[in-house]
Amino acid sequence: MQTQPILEGNRLALSRLLTQVENDAPEGRSALAKLFPHTGRAHLIGVTGAPGTGKSSLVNQLTLHYRKAHQYKVAIIAVDPSSPFTGGAVLGDRVRMRDLSGDDGVFIRSMASRGSVGGLAQKTAAFVQVFDAAGYDIIIIETVGAGQSEVDIARLAHTTIVVEAPGLGDDIQAIKAGILEIADVLVINKADRPGVENTERALRSMLELAHPTKRIIHHHGRMMTLEAPVTDAPLWMPPILKTIATDGTGIPELAEAIARHKSHLHQSGDWASRDRARLRSELEAVLEEELMSRYLNGSHREAYEQALEKVIRREWSPYEAVRALLNGK
Amino acid sequence: MQTQPILEGNRLALSRLLTQVENDAPEGRSALAKLFPHTGRAHLIGVTGAPGTGKSSLVNQLTLHYRKAHQYKVAIIAVDPSSPFTGGAVLGDRVRMRDLSGDDGVFIRSMASRGSVGGLAQKTAAFVQVFDAAGYDIIIIETVGAGQSEVDIARLAHTTIVVEAPGLGDDIQAIKAGILEIADVLVINKADRPGVENTERALRSMLELAHPTKRIIHHHGRMMTLEAPVTDAPLWMPPILKTIATDGTGIPELAEAIARHKSHLHQSGDWASRDRARLRSELEAVLEEELMSRYLNGSHREAYEQALEKVIRREWSPYEAVRALLNGK
């Protein structure tokens, strides 16, 4: 596959390549390899939060702002738990198309969350590389939902925005706690609704609780392999912003907070360390998949199937089976 | 570690073993191997749904019902995105303890969703094995949230219950579509709230759309490796039930629907095929982890670190790096 049209921003070529990458076609892999040296420039922004917070409208408004105020090229990757029945045509998409279609500086692509989580994070990472190489200044990774997989995907980003809304029900408390540790910017959307003060107070007290250990916690989980964090770098305290995405209130302030976070990342050395952590986990994921596929497609297949039968008959536990397979017992 | 006390239902021994399994301690692994032949009897019930649907109260009420009406031993595994700040003490837990503590036939265990998703699903599977061997008749796996990771965890179950509630906001539509394909029983909780008819109508029309292809879709994703589905077995159409968990309305009917689904699984052969698919994916996960750990801890470590540096300098794409590593190029 020719990669020159991609580098020049040809939309049709871009669209074709994304499909090849999504289908894990060999042409996609070889194009990715050719494009990879051209990556590393885009600002990756993750947007996550519980259902009903109005994330999609917020992303639309932010994109419109970037287009009008800065003429940035913006790509949106919407990671979307659509089912095979609906074919991914969720309600938000129609609103999105109305607001943003017809602008050549915006590229929107949905990705269904069928299949394994690992696969999804890996494909999202590959999409990011394609848009980065194609010269998009801003790449927004929007995830519907607030589970661990969404958190993993948001962690691909340089700047993670967690969206809340007033009064979303009782176990929202738990979600907030789990997701706060990845937030660089907190947004209370639908800020014209009742209960906004309560939401803000709750977020603020959780943030203050989190503050002393913020830097350590930031490098948890998938980020555990991150090398030597810069210890005397300035601390980043996630700001809490209020927006009303439907009428654009608070959007310029949000763009401003994101820009400040970007400067902070560069000053503190975190831009480089996040880049490093992201590439390390991408490399690990590809290696893991390839090791497994070589094992199962090689001469071990029969032994593996026999081991599985023993597990099903409860003669071996899965751990015993793996030990026997790998030690050739 | 002695496994006899576990088989006899000693709660202290059980609690200790779960901690060892959670920490991936060697004693935990060896105990799991010894207990494994005693597994395969429990009915595994997954409960999932968006935040704010009242899943925890529903699980509590269902458990109380199982205790009173059937004297079943019930284990609850609450997979919970708690943060290091709160230490897992989420609001729902206190209510839960009030309702269910002091009953020796109930065991509740939370599991935090820190770290990788794969790890979480694997540990949940190991917890299930421990409770199964310890003679629990019913094991409820409750997940907070509705992301793909929660779906993967719910897929461990024989019977998956998807909980909805009236009027939870606009992108709930997308969640429903993604999650419908794994539902064996649909529950509209908080059925005394306005909007219940709309929720029911929406669910019903989506179900009808889904119906013709139900059996195939059921075997998607992690289930892809499932062997030859029984083709002329009776079809299961997921029932839609209405409950008010706070006062117990609809709970006996829910227990009844779950029992009917269990009979269906046995009659159709799906009990055995789900068991098989579950064990296959457990075996795959353990094998994948072990292959990776042997690779990285072996003589390849240095080459791996060098490859990573090349990726960070954008000289190699992650795919090129893996190819070079595994082909010894």
pLDDT given for residue B118 in this prediction: 52
Nearest to B91 among A149, A173, A213 (CB): A173
Cβ atoms within 10 Å, residue B242: 19
Higher-pLDDT residue of A238 and B88 is A238
- Contact criterion met (CB below 8 Å) for A105 and B105: no
Mean pLDDT of A13-42: 91
Residue type at position B194: P
Higher-pLDDT residue of A112 and B283 is B283
DSSP per residue, B229-291: --TTSPP-PPPEEE-BGGGTBTHHHHHHHHHHHHHHHHHHTHHHHHHHHHHHHHHHHHHHHHH
Nearest chain A Cα distance for residue B40, angstroms: 8
So what's the ipTM on this one? 0.78
pLDDT given for residue A156 in this prediction: 82
CA dihedral A288, A290, A291, A295 (to 10 degrees): 140
The residues of chain B scoring below 50 in pLDDT are 82-91, 116-117, 146, 170-174, 213-230
Show residues of chain B in contact with A37, CB under 8 Å.
314-315
Q: Residue A285: closest CA among chain B residues belongs to which residue?
A: B318
Higher-pLDDT residue of B81 and A9 is A9
Q: Which pTM does this prediction carry? A: 0.73
Count of pairs with CB atoms under 8 A, one residue in A, one in B: 288
Nearest to A81 among B32, B178, B316 (CB): B178
Nearest to B146 among A39, A147, A169 (CB): A147
Contact state of B146 with A150 under an 8 Å Cβ cutoff: no
Of B261, B272, B266, the residue nearest B228 (C-alpha): B272
pLDDT given for residue A154 in this prediction: 65
pLDDT given for residue B183 in this prediction: 86
pLDDT band of A74, cuts 50, 70, 90: very high
DSSP count for chain A of H helices, then E strands: 14, 7
For B320-324, the CB contacts below 8 A with 24+ separation are B320/A33, B320/A36, B321/A283, B321/A286, B322/A283, B322/A286, B322/A287, B322/A290
> Is a pLDDT exceeding 70 seen at residue A97?
no
Domains belonging to chain B, first-starting first, are 39-290 (3.40.50.300), 298-326 (no CATH)
Q: Residue B165: closest CA among chain A residues belongs to which residue?
A: A169
Show residues of chain A in contact with B275, CB under 8 Å.
312
pLDDT given for residue B211 in this prediction: 54
pLDDT given for residue B91 in this prediction: 45
If you average pLDDT over every residue of chain A, what do you get? 81
Show residues of chain B in contact with A120, CB under 8 Å.
148
- Contact criterion met (CB below 8 Å) for B167 and B193: yes
